[in-house]
Amino acid sequence: MPTPEERPTSSLWRDVVGAIKGKPRDYTKGAVGRAIVCLAIPMVIEMLGQAMFGLFDAIFVSRLGTTQVAAVTLTEAVLMIVFAVAIGFSMGTTAMVARRVGEGDREAASRTALQAILVGVVIAAIVAVIGVTGSSFFLRLMGGSPELVREGSLFFAIIFGGNVTIILLFLINAIFRGAGDPSQAMRALWLANGINIVLDPLLIFGLGPIPGFGLEGAAIATTIGRGIGVLYQLRILTTGGSKIQIDTANLRVDAAVMTRLLRVSAIGILQFFISTASFLFLARIMSRFGDAALAGHTIAIRLITFALLPVWGVGNAAATLVGQNLGAGNPDRAERSVWVTGFVNMCILGTVGLVFIFGAEYIVGLLFQVTDEVVALASNCLRIMAYSYLFWAYGMTTVMAFNGAGDTITPTWINFLVYWALQLPLAWGLGVTYGYGPQGVFAAVAICQVVLAVVGVLVFRRGTWKTRAI
């Protein structure tokens, strides 16, 4: 039975519309299910926008050829390291902002947001120099053929040169989510994605006086789209359009806040580096099987990401609720939020899994202009991965809940054991040693997602995350 303060006082539809519009709401009170829905729907829409970046890039680039798709695969495998930094740092930022908001200290939340942005800019500058000067080296290191290196070097350099748009887009949206203001994160992503969708075909193939830049056009379109999204975010943060407002007149380094933020985020960055670096090594293993295998892997991962990022959106709702409710001194409500969120994610991914199991070839053939061999490889990947989706839902949710509580150490150890100690040796063994090829690699990933879920749930039930101070 819900308590009196948890009983609904207005229609769910009205609350959802209000959440999408950005209406302020206290997520430490009221019905847990309604809080999850109001937080999750804008976050799901946001994550769909994030997924569509990669999906539309792959759709248009597939029309250029298998080598170009493979070049995107290897570039993004290396780029996953940048994503690891951005996501790990964003998790720490979300946890600290949510905790300060739960405590009712908006000024401290704003200081945290500013320090996070300053650190993000510095990190992006370092990454840009390394990526631009070493583009050919990294593609060769990843096993790219001479033709792939020649075709992909400039694409690689443009993506890494503009990586500040990637880092800040993740980081500022993490600030919005931590503040319980997911509608602004949603709008920023959809603005950026809409511009990318329009510019992609124009800059890849050209139209009238607009020249076609081929593969490099995809990099330019994506960077411009993300850049405009970041400008929108900064405008909201500095003009009072969010619960968190940054005063540009007081733009300075706060050593104490920055140190605390880096301490909380450092393990989170390591956590996501472990998981994303494993993706990099998986791509390196896939390169042993040729450009067609890499292209099939790319297409499948694009579609899987499209399916998983909405679940990330629901998981982000759990992370925000955990942070804010711990800050408000209500750990039981925080835990209840996670179990409800995990069940919702299981229902979503179970449905998606059925679609992939029975319709993989149709989906791949409809969206991508590639060879029959690539279609078959991508379809096999989608089907094999789909069998682990029910477990994947709980694995993702519990890991994000740990991060929302500021306990980044526990999921880091889980990721290390599952992705590096188990997944990489298993992928090599099944794919190379025992000769199952790409299907062996796909099976290794599916098996390890089941293990991740089981371990994550068992450790989460211990409850040590409830006493984590940040």
**Contact of 287 with 74, CB cutoff 8 Å:** yes
296 Cβ partners below 8 Å, 6+ apart?
Answer: 370, 373, 374, 375, 376, 377, 378, 380, 381, 438
Only one residue has tokens 């619960």, namely 243
Q: How does pLDDT run across 367-392, given as a tens digit for each residue?
A: 887 788 888 989 999 999 999 999 98
Q: Which helix (H) or strand (E) holds 50?
A: helix 32-61
- pLDDT given at position 211: 83
Q: In this predicted structure, what is the pLDDT of residue 273?
A: 80
pLDDT for the residue numbered 286? 84
| Token pair belonging to 40 | 């999750």
**Cα separation of 65 and 300, whole Å?**
16
Q: Count the neighbouring beta carbons within 10 Å of the beta carbon of residue 249.
A: 6
Of 176, 169, 206, 153, residue with least CA distance to 53: 169
Note the pLDDT of residue 9.
45
Q: What's the CA gap between 90 and 25, in Å, rounded? A: 22
Residue of 117, 383, 144 whose CA lies nearest to 238: 117
What per-residue confidence (pLDDT) applies to 329? 83
211 DSSP assignment: P
Buried-exposed string 160-172: b where 16+ CB fall within 10 A, e elsewhere: bbbbbbbbbbbbb
Whole-number pLDDT of residue 300 = 87
Contact 339, 384 (CB under 8 A): no
Residues of the chain with pLDDT under 70: 1-10, 12-13, 15-28, 30, 33, 46-54, 248-250, 469-470
CA 183: distance to chain centroid? Answer: 17
Residue 7 CB neighbours (<10 A): 10
pLDDT in tens, 18-77: 656 666 666 667 677 677 777 777 777 766 666 666 677 777 888 888 788 888 878 877
Q: Do the Cβ atoms of 408 and 91 come closer than 8 Å?
A: yes
